[in-house]
Amino acid sequence: NAGVTQTPKFQVLKTGQSMTLQCAQDMNHNSMYWYRQDPGMGLRLIYYSASEGTTDKGEVPNGYNVSRLNKREFSLRLESAAPSQTSVYFCASRPSTGSNTEAFFGQGTRLTVV
């Protein structure tokens, strides 16, 4: 049981380049999330998908787009990368029913924009 899988694990981009971060979960979860983690800032929600077919903005959506391709996959796209997007990105998923269920996280993508 792989859980939440993110690819790639590391990436270096030049300013202005585009890329897509991939995330897939095999737990049949309805809800999926993208966070960024920066020193001293904790986790900040970029976008989330409450269920297949829906996506919504989180706290810091500017400069990002997402696609909920199917129930398993939720991708994050940077159209024109900026140095301010250097961060560690985490994908997470959880069953949407009930408040007593925890989130499951991927291992993260460490992105550097130069």
Partner 1 sequence: GNSVTQMEGPVTLSEEAFLTINCTYTATGYPSLFWYVQYPGEGLQLLLKATKADDKGSNKGFEATYRKETTSFHLEKGSVQVSDSAVYFCALMSGGSYIPTFGRGTSLIVHP
Nearer to partner 1, 27 or 82 (CB): 27
Nearer to partner 1, 19 or 103 (CB): 103
Please report how close the Cβ of residue 15 comes to partner 1 at its closest, in angstroms.
26
**Which residues here bind partner 1, judged by CB under 8 A?**
4, 31, 33, 40-43, 45, 48, 50, 58, 90, 92, 94, 96, 98-108
Nearer to partner 1, 80 or 101 (CB): 101
Preceding peptide of 95 cis, ω within 30°? no
Please report how close the Cβ of residue 38 comes to partner 1 at its closest, in angstroms.
11
